[in-house]
Amino acid sequence: MNVKIDFRPVQLRDLIEVPEGAGKSAPRPKSGPRKSADYQNSIQHWSALCDAKISPDAKDFITSDTSLALRGALVAKDEGRFAEYHHPIYAARWAAPRDLSEPAVVRQFLSSAGLDGKAALARAESEELTDRLKRETCEAIERGVFGVPTIFVGDEMFWGNDRFELVRHFLENTA
């Protein structure tokens, strides 16, 4: 299947709380204690199914500051190195938690992705990329995004890691 994928990093916590500058039309999801408990249980099941390590120290997935790492993802995307950056930094977020708000940590991942770490970090720390991440997040909210991963095929939205088969089916059966 020949499909172009456009990865668009967004700030997860802003999908739940209204960020400044975002339209107010999309309601934000609420998560009570029963849903939170089920979510943690589901993460462990998915982790086992995918043979992906999830550290118990990776609990604070909404409030931790990953904005610098996300802006680093935008730099890597622009330079054609998204996969080389994303996979290791994702593991550093979930499997072997590192403080992704630390510039030295993000610089290391940018360098490991084959980028000039110093220059890439300077760009990730720029106002231009701060504004771009906010804009990408606001655009996602306006489209109805409430969590990650969210996949769009045209205007059709699919949310959740358990929807990839639905996306494939939709692509195979849509002209």
Q: 70 and 110 in one domain?
A: yes
Q: Identify the CA nearest to 83 among candidates 113, 52, 115, 108.
A: 113
Tell me the per-residue pLDDT of 18-77, one tens digit each, with 9 for 90 and over: 555 555 555 555 566 776 677 777 877 878 887 778 777 666 655 578 999 999 999 999
How high is the pLDDT of residue 25? 53
Q: Is residue 12 part of a domain?
A: no
Q: 131 and 74 in one domain?
A: yes
- The CA-based diameter of the chain, rounded to the nearest angstrom, is 47
Q: 134 and 66 in one domain?
A: yes
DSSP structure class, residue 60? -
Q: Is residue 71 part of a domain?
A: yes
Q: 133 and 150 in one domain?
A: no
Q: 160 and 116 in one domain?
A: no
Q: 135 and 59 in one domain?
A: yes
Q: 169 and 132 in one domain?
A: no
Q: Is residue 35 part of a domain?
A: no
Q: Identify the CA nearest to 71 among candidates 135, 5, 139, 130.
A: 130
Dist CA 134 CA 19 (whole Å): 8
- Domain containing 174 equals 143-175
Q: 153 and 130 in one domain?
A: no
Q: Is residue 75 part of a domain?
A: yes
| Number of domains into which the chain is organized | 2
Q: 149 and 96 in one domain?
A: no
Residue 110 CB contacts under 8 Å (≥ 6 apart), including other chains: 72, 75, 76, 85, 117, 120, 121, 124
Tell me the per-residue pLDDT of 7-32, one tens digit each, with 9 for 90 and over: 888 988 777 765 555 555 555 555 66
